[in-house]
Amino acid sequence: MTTPEHQPNDPEPTRPPGSAAPRYQDRVYRSPAALVGGVLLLALIGWLGIDAVVTGEGRTPWLALATMLLLVPLVVAYTLRPAVYVNDDRLRVRNPFRVIELPWGQVASLRSGFSNEVFDESGTKYQLWALPVSLRARNKAVRAETRAAAQAARAARAGSGSEGSGSGAGSGARASAGRGGLGPGGVPSGPKRAESDRAMDEMREMHELRQSEGAAQGEVTVRWAYEIAGPAVVGAVLLAVLLGVG
């Protein structure tokens, strides 16, 4: 499941007369489950690591420090860091070790399969780590949609069978149709979708609307997250040295 957020509402700069439509704050998509899991893992690593540093003897404190230096950046990278930022001009994908900025004019397609992915015009694929695909959530959404459609069909049959029987029966049918995500007249209000699939649908709509706009053109940029990779590499090297000297 993913949660769309909005950046804090900072005051917008004064816009010159005749400028383009106002720009909106980035919409942010993250995985609440990953955030919760990351916090719990960091708490566990901190508890065990600090205990080993304080009470350990010999090389144990150094091994604990090296292990923490290796694990903490990796946990942050794969749980707390991933996010997808969307605005009128571009899609910014923050993955564990990279930040990719794709102007909408450079986005070729957004695809969903066993993972959610974005392809640029050159055919390069970038995975959206912040939008994990949950087959369980998809199956749950399909079951909910099936139940809503079945209820709509029953309400339609009940309504046709009670024509001319008075307003009381009609109101009862309407009340029945209003349950289970049904709209007026017993028609489903819309297809049920998993959270990550809804996020992908929203991004596809934005892509369709903005891909030809002048402000949404530019080059794809990729920046490596050395602030994450560096400490992890140092921790791995230190841990290997400590284990090697035995």
Residue 30 domain-assigned (yes or no): yes
Q: Do 36 and 143 belong to one domain?
A: no
Residues 120 and 207 in one domain: yes
**What is the 3-state secondary structure of the chain?**
CCEEEECCCCCCCCCCCCCCCCCCCCEEEECHHHHHHHHHHHHHHHHHHHHHHHHCCCCHHHHHHHHHHHHHHHHHHHHHCCEEEECCCEEEEECCCEEEEEEHHHEEEEEECCCEEEEECCCCEEECCCCCCCHHHHHHHHHHHHHHHHHHHHHHHHHHHCCCCCHHHHHHHHHHHCCCCECHHHCECCCCCCHHHHHHHHHHHHHHHHCCCHHHCCCCEEEECHHHHHHHHHHHHHHHHHHHHC
Output the pLDDT for position 196.
79
- At residue 12, the pLDDT reads 41
Ranges under pLDDT 70 in the chain: 1-24, 134-152, 160-194, 246
Both 102 and 209 in a single domain?
A: yes
Is 178 within the bounds of a domain?
no
Give yes or no: residues 105 and 204 share one domain.
Answer: yes
pTM score: 0.69
Q: Are residues 29 and 74 in the same domain?
A: yes
Give the distance, in angstroms, between the CA of residue 85 and the centroid of all CA atoms in the same chain.
Answer: 9
| Residue 106 and residue 71 share a domain | no
For residues 61 and 40, membership in a common domain is answered with yes
List pLDDT tens digits, range 140-186.
555 555 666 666 677 777 776 655 454 444 444 444 444 444 444 44
Establish if 168 belongs to a structural domain: no
User: What is residue 149's predicted lDDT score, i.e. its pLDDT?
Assistant: 63
What was the pLDDT predicted at 179? Answer: 42
The reply to whether 229 and 241 lie within a common domain is yes
Tell me if 186 is assigned to some domain: no
User: What residues form DSSP beta bridges with 120?
Assistant: 107
120 and 76 within one domain: no
Q: What is the pLDDT of residue 19?
A: 41
Query: Which residue range is the domain that position 98 belongs to?
Result: 88-153+194-222
Residue 231 domain flag: yes
The pLDDT value given to residue 42: 97
User: Do 100 and 139 belong to one domain?
Assistant: yes
Q: Is residue 93 part of a domain?
A: yes
Residue 147 shares a structural domain with residue 67: no
Residue 157 has a pLDDT of: 73
Residue 142 is predicted with a pLDDT of 54
Q: Is residue 14 part of a domain?
A: no
Q: Give the model's pLDDT for residue 178.
A: 41
pLDDT at 147: 62
Q: Is 175 inside a domain boundary?
A: no
Same domain as 215, residue 136: yes
Q: How many domains does the chain have?
A: 2
